[in-house]
């Protein structure tokens, strides 16, 4: 089967589940939080991916004051930043990141700056020069603010950008920003992204003569 080819001017990359597999840490920390708050950990894990922690807490405990969610989120971020056991790169992430090094791209993550640096370092991945982290936005994914800021920071229109995402909240944010989405991994498979890959080994990057980015996506 021939490869699918997508063309963009810039790439906007989620981190967790897209470049870095941090599921082990996320699940450890959120299981503890769920048990502390009398919630079913398995049910909680179904909604934690993609959002900032306070936003996940608001979904799970809708009647709780938001200031308590923000306080808990600070504790959660400290726990996650201190725990790197099992943090590894998504398949092909190292080659992919090197392939796009000279092309317009940005990290757009729900992690804060410290957590993003710790996880990218633990996974042995190069950190993009432009980073849109939790401190950069007023609203969490699925709000499109982060992706729109990433596009603006790179100097491109939303329609010129392709988002790489793994979660429901992240894919919804990319669509709301008016961008095409490449879904990465099992969580993305059922969410009808514009293209889907199991990991980043299925993508070959080519720089076109006009400066655009060609993504050759192979079937598996």
Q: What is the mean pLDDT of the chain?
A: 96
- Residues 149, 74, single domain; the answer is no
- Distant-in-sequence, close-in-space partners of 186: CB < 8 Å, separation ≥ 6: 198
Q: What is the mean pLDDT of residues 38-62?
A: 94
Mean pLDDT of the 174-201 span: 96
* 40 is known as an active-site residue: no
Domain interval for residue 162: 4-21+87-217
Q: Among residues 14, 23, 72, 166, which one is catalytic?
A: 14
CA triplet 167, 175, 6: central angle to 5 degrees?
Answer: 90
CB 27 within 8 A of CB 35: no
When pLDDT is cut at 50, 70 and 90, the band that residue 219 belongs to is: confident
Residues 206 and 151 in one domain: yes
**pLDDT at residue 5 above 60?**
yes
C-alpha atoms less than 13 angstroms from C-alpha of 71 in its C-beta half-sphere: 5
- Where is the domain boundary, 82, 98, 132? 82
Give the predicted TM-score (pTM) of the model: 0.93
* Same domain, residue pair 94 and 39: no
Q: Which residue has the tokens 């401190």?
A: 135
Write down which residue in 82, 103, 130 finishes a domain. 82
Three-class secondary structure of residue 107 per DSSP: strand
Does 16 participate in catalysis according to the annotation? yes
Q: Which two tokens stand for residue 179?
A: 């961008």
Q: Using the predicted structure, report yes or no on whether residue 1 has a pLDDT greater than 70.
A: no
**Can you give the CATH number for the domain in which 132 is found?**
3.40.50.1000
What domain count does the chain have?
A: 2
Q: How confident is the model at residue 3 (pLDDT cuts 50, 70, 90)?
A: confident
- Among candidate residues 16, 23, 72, 112, the one labeled active-site is 16
CA distances to 53, 70, 86 from 74, in Å: 9, 6, 22
Judge contact between 220 and 6, C-beta under 8 A: no
Residues of the chain with pLDDT > 90: what percent? Answer: 95
Average pLDDT for residues 95-111, to the nearest whole number? 97
Confidence of residue 142 (pLDDT cuts 50, 70, 90): very high
């Amino acid at each position: 089967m021939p490869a699918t080819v997508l063309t963009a001017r810039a790439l906007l990359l989620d981190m967790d589940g897209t470049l870095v597999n941090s599921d082990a840490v996320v699940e450890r920390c959120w299981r503890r939080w769920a048990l502390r708050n009398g919630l079913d950990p398995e049910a909680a894990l179904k909604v934690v991916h993609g959002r900032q922690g306070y936003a996940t807490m608001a979904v799970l405990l809708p009647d709780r004051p938001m200031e308590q969610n923000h306080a808990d989120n600070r504790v959660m971020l400290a726990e996650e930043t201190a725990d790197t056991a099992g943090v590894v790169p998504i398949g092909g992430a190292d080659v992919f990141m090197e392939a796009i090094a000279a092309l317009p791209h940005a990290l757009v993550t729900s992690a804060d700056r410290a957590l993003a640096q710790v996880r990218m370092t633990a996974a042995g991945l190069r950190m993009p020069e432009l980073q849109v982290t939790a401190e950069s936005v007023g609203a969490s994914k699925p709000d499109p603010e982060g992706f729109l800021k990433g596009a603006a920071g790179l100097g491109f229109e939303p329609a010129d950008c392709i988002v790489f995402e793994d979660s429901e909240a992240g894919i919804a944010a990319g669509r709301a920003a008016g961008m095409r989405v490449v879904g990465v991994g099992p969580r993305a498979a059922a969410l009808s992204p514009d293209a889907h890959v199991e990991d980043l080994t299925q993508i070959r990057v080519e720089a076109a003569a006009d400066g655009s980015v060609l993504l050759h996506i192979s079937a598996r």
